[in-house]
């Protein structure tokens, strides 16, 4: 089994309005999907190291809203929100993404999960309204925070796999 550090988050810019994110996780697709839509698990992995995240709202269905509040302390909390547009268990999630301090700059994120040999390739294509919105996201430092978030996600998935193997629920 490969260490989580062997899998790296890759961020590319396939067009003027898109960010493409890929990361392979050492877990079956159904486990990865569950960790992405279970409000009880979100706080265990969402956000960079040192941040805590709480789920304010999470209605996992087309038209349902989500909102997470994250920060290193109550004084620096910030919120992210969106709406689910499509849920196709366990292969695809389409949702909007908006950082509340920059309201109106909304991306549409399409997450696709493909399983190969018990591992899952997560691909997220973020489409922005303009090149300026896309560039603003890139310049925000999102790549570093995303890499840390994905590392935390890989750590949680390892825990979930171990629980599944031991029969614990």
Count of other CB atoms within 10 angstroms of residue 79: 15
pLDDT for position 160 = 93
Q: Answer yes or no: is 66 within a domain.
A: no
pTM over 0.75: yes
**Measured between alpha carbons, how far is 123 from 132 in angstroms, rounded to an integer?**
23
The pair phi, psi for residue 121, each rounded to 5°, is -90, 120
Q: Answer yes or no: is 100 within a domain.
A: yes
The 3-state DSSP class for residue 43 equals coil
If one counts the domains in the chain, the total is: 1
Q: Which range marks the domain in which residue 36 is found?
A: 4-49+88-166
pLDDT for position 5 = 47
**Measured between alpha carbons, how far is 27 from 86 in angstroms, rounded to an integer?**
23
The closest of 28, 39, 46 to 160, measured between CA atoms, is 28
Q: Is 146 in contact with 21 (CB distance < 8 Å)?
A: yes
pLDDT for position 168 = 57
Q: Answer yes or no: is 12 within a domain.
A: yes
Q: What pLDDT tens digit does each residue of the chain (169 aa) get?
A: 444 446 799 999 999 999 999 999 999 999 999 999 999 999 999 999 999 999 999 999 999 999 999 999 989 999 999 999 999 999 999 999 999 998 999 999 999 999 999 999 999 999 999 999 999 999 988 999 999 999 999 999 999 988 877 765 5
The CATH number that applies at residue 31 is 3.30.530.20
Helix spans in the chain (H): 29-37, 39-42, 131-139, 142-166
Q: Answer yes or no: is 142 within a domain.
A: yes
Q: Answer yes or no: is 14 within a domain.
A: yes
């Amino acid at each position: 089994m490969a260490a989580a550090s062997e899998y790296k988050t890759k961020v590319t810019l396939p067009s003027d309005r898109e960010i493409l994110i890929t990361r392979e996780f050492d877990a079956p697709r159904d486990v990865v999907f569950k960790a992405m839509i279970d409000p009880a698990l979100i706080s265990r992995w969402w956000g960079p190291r040192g941040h805590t995240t709480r789920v304010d709202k999470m209605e996992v269905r087309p038209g349902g809203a989500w909102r997470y509040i994250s920060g290193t302390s109550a004084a620096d909390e910030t919120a992210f929100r969106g709406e689910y547009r499509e849920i196709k268990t366990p292969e695809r999630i389409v949702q909007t993404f908006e950082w509340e301090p920059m309201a109106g700059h909304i991306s549409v994120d399409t997450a696709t999960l493909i399983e190969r040999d018990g591992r899952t390739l997560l691909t997220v294509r973020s489409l922005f309204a303009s090149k300026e919105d896309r560039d603003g996201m890139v310049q925000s430092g999102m790549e570093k925070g995303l890499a840390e978030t994905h590392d935390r996600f890989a750590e949680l998935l390892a825990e979930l796999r171990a629980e599944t193997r031991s029969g614990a629920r």
